[in-house]
Amino acid sequence: MGYKHKGFDISKVTVIGAGQIGPDICLHFSKVFWKDHVGFVLLDISEDALANAKGKIERKIDKGRETGAFKPEMAEAMKNSITYTTDYGNAAGSDIVLEAATEDERIKDLIFRQVEAQTDAHCLFFSNSSHMKPEVIFKNIADKKRAMVTHYFFPAERNPVVEVVPGTDTSPVLVKNVMSLYEAIGKVPIEVKSSYGYAIDPIFEGLCELAILCLEKGYGTVKEIDMMAQKTLHQGVGPFTALNLTGGNPITNHGLEEMRKTHIQWFRSPKTLQEHTASESKWDTAKRGGQVEVAPEKAAMLRKQFLGGYFALASYIMDLGISNTDDLDMATEIALVIAPPFSLMNKTGIDESYNLVQEWCREHTDFPFPKSLEQAKAAGGWKISNIVRSTHDKVAVLTIRRPQVLNALNLQVLAQLQEEVQMAEADSGIEAIVITGFGTKAFVSGADIGMLASLKTPEEGYGNSHSFQQYLNYIEQCKKPVVCALNGFAFGGGNELAMSCTARIAKKGLPVAACQPEVNLGFIAGAGGTQRLPRLVGVDVAAEILRTARPVSGKEAIAIGLVDREATGDLIEDAVVFAKELAAGKVSPHLLPKTPLGGTFSPKNIDTGHLSKKIDSILTRAIYEGINLTLQEGLELESRLFGECLLTEDMKIGLENFMKNGPKIKAEFKHN
């Protein structure tokens, strides 16, 4: 059967290396391709390593089955899809060979020369190297166009980030398609230019080096330094704990020594790291949940060390020109579970950040002050955006990319989106615009819950709603057609954004295309949902959807007029065609009326179950009073009534329940 995507037809994948990360990569592949009957080979020269890898993979599958993450049929298919072997002949017929062996140039070269002899010319060669340049790894294969580094992060089956690193001769079309493939199978890929260590590892290993240097200078104990790094940089775990968890002493020791040759003299393996590597000993970190007290003076000094060093390292990567602020900010946060560096610098204040790095570089004299930070200071801060823009046949494609929160909206993201729409509207070479979301699960999962929970007064609620509406009104009034391409579900503000576009196209067969779930959380839609939905699909249909918070499938969305088309092929390609047809006047959009709807409508008796009766009364006012107003007047009414929700006890109950228990536990509303 096989998996097909963007010219790929994948029936067999071989992963070479049954050590730390190879089994996890194989596990991820088996998880995403299990329905497509793709076969997997896990290859290693060691029978013991293969036996350990099989045990590790099957334990994780069994655990997934116990928790309900994997259904029995899926778990069994995953186990049966993997062959464990020491025979390189079993790589024959592979569509992809991904090497995850030791960081050794000779070993990697030997592996790929053997693989090239066993596979066909169409087989793609990926290396999960964490440091080595693709030009070095693939130097002896005949066809370098099909080879690149795909660097995963620990743990590979769960950590979504993959650095895609093409070599000098790698096909640009292949790189583009591989980026799309990884997005389609649930990863968050970033393209990085060829450089030793790529973009993220020099930051991680640099922080490890800094922690050890602080230890050697007597700035604190392992436990104190680990805790202060974690606290200062909002890390999941401190650098010493990370080294213990990943078994990272040897590779960090080697990587730092190599970066001293390839990058700057500051990078080096401290003596204490060399000793721990040689003795195979772990760092004396605090036990999980253990408390570590640090004296205020010591804490202040360590805070300066880690802020200055972190900001310097991230800025240094920008000096190398191998990535961009948007990619590096996002990927560093996800891959390393750490505060995004450029966002943290902006939050800290660019002047203070500049001074911290300046002071840090005066102590660490081998680290040159980053030129990119000079430029950021002159510009008043780092420019960062959650909107990725590309151009397809004179159509601007704007992708909302916030994978950590399934592309949830806040006012900052909407401001970035408006800026991109403005630029596309002013560009004479652009005929139309497509707005879509990153990934395959969600177009936009709604408004950022943290933002909503921060609202305290009706005035704040009104202001938030009104600001959201202003951004969406701008999109609605764009002089060029704007097509919303629903790559996944549109919840809350996501559906409200979709309805502000000229037209909507959805990925075929979406089980859930749209939902207005606000009443589950104890408030009403506040970005136009109570006004645009009735005008688009009819008052009674819209009222039932809004009042019950029930999801709408792709099939129903087409039937009621919420979505104009389903994609028959690639979603973005079909959306671009649709947008160009609208721009050329070949098709007419289904525009919602902006005048009062007229007619006699009254609320129906609807079973709203456990939902708040108080919020339902506010919602019905918004719907049934709004239809007798102009759209603009109705939006003003919605903003006022959204603010009114903050006077209720039920909005507080709904938000607190969601933040504590998630969406599956029903809130116990008081109806007042």
Task: Give the active site residues.
Answer: 496, 518
CB atoms within 10 A of CB 123: 20
Rounded CA gap, 590 and 577, in Å? Answer: 17
Task: Please state, in angstroms and as integers, the Cα–Cα distance from residue 626 to each residue in 393, 431, 474, 528, 590, following that order.
Answer: 40, 34, 20, 11, 20
Amino acid in the structure at residue 284: D
DSSP 126: E
Which is it for the CA torsion 267, 196, 248, 103, positive or negative? negative
3-class SS string, 372-413: HHHHHHHCCCCCCCCEEEEEECCEEEEEECCHHHCCCECHHH
Rounded CA gap, 547 and 226, in Å? Answer: 49
Residue 195 sits at φ, ψ, to 5 deg, of -165, 140
- Per DSSP, the three-state class of 416 is helix
Helix, strand, coil percentages in the chain from 3-state DSSP, rounded to 5: 50, 10, 35
Q: List Cβ neighbours of 349 (8 Å cut-off, separation of 6 or more).
A: none
Residues in the chain: 672
Rounded CA gap, 660 and 657, in Å? Answer: 5
Q: Which residues of 623-655 are buried (b: 16+ CB within 10 A; e: fewer)?
A: bbebbebebeebbbbbbbbbbbbbebebbbbbb
Rounded CA gap, 71 and 611, in Å? Answer: 32
Query: Beta strand pairing status for 82-85 and 39-43?
Result: parallel
- Per DSSP, the three-state class of 289 is coil
Longest dimension (CA), the chain: 83
